[in-house]
């Protein structure tokens, strides 16, 4: 009984992390420059038993991956703001940089 309880509990905890990730993506969906993240789940596996069979022991939230798709480009009234369309990035530093 205890094992099946913890398997279910691991699923609930992983789902809570998934909902938290989705909520964060939704809360920032209109934030300029925000990149969403995807959350992946991993199965917990038990050691091989006497019969050579492995049993599932639940699930955990695994790695997150940032989504790097092109966002919306909006015009700004400030001269110091810029946007890239397509592939690109830049290094930003101050005048005191020793590069």
5 HSE (CA, 13 A, CB side): 2
CB 40 within 8 A of CB 65: yes
- Spatial distance between the Cα atoms of 14 and 16, rounded to a whole number of angstroms: 5
- Between 54 and 38, the higher pLDDT residue: 38
Q: Which two tokens stand for residue 73?
A: 């480009």
What is the band of 82 on the pLDDT scale with cuts at 50, 70, 90?
A: confident
Question: pTM (2 decimals)?
Answer: 0.67
Predicted pLDDT of residue 49: 64
Predicted pLDDT of residue 2: 58
* 3-39 confidence digits (pLDDT tens): 788 888 999 999 999 999 999 999 998 887 788 999 9
- Spatial distance between the Cα atoms of 35 and 21, rounded to a whole number of angstroms: 12
What is the band of 47 on the pLDDT scale with cuts at 50, 70, 90?
A: low
DSSP letter at 47 equals: P
Q: Environment class of residue 37 by beta-carbon count within 10 Å: exposed (0-12), middle (13-18) or buried (19+)? A: middle
């Amino acid at each position: 009984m205890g094992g099946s309880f913890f398997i279910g509990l691991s699923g609930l905890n992983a789902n809570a992390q998934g909902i938290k990730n989705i909520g964060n993506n939704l809360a920032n969906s209109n934030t300029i420059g925000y990149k969403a993240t995807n959350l992946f789940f991993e199965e917990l596996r038990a050691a091989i038993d006497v019969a050579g069979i492995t049993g599932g022991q639940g699930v955990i939230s695994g790695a997150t991956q940032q989504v790097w798709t092109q966002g919306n480009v909006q015009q700004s009234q400030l001269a110091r703001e810029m946007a890239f369309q397509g592939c690109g990035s830049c290094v930003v530093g101050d005048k005191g940089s020793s590069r």
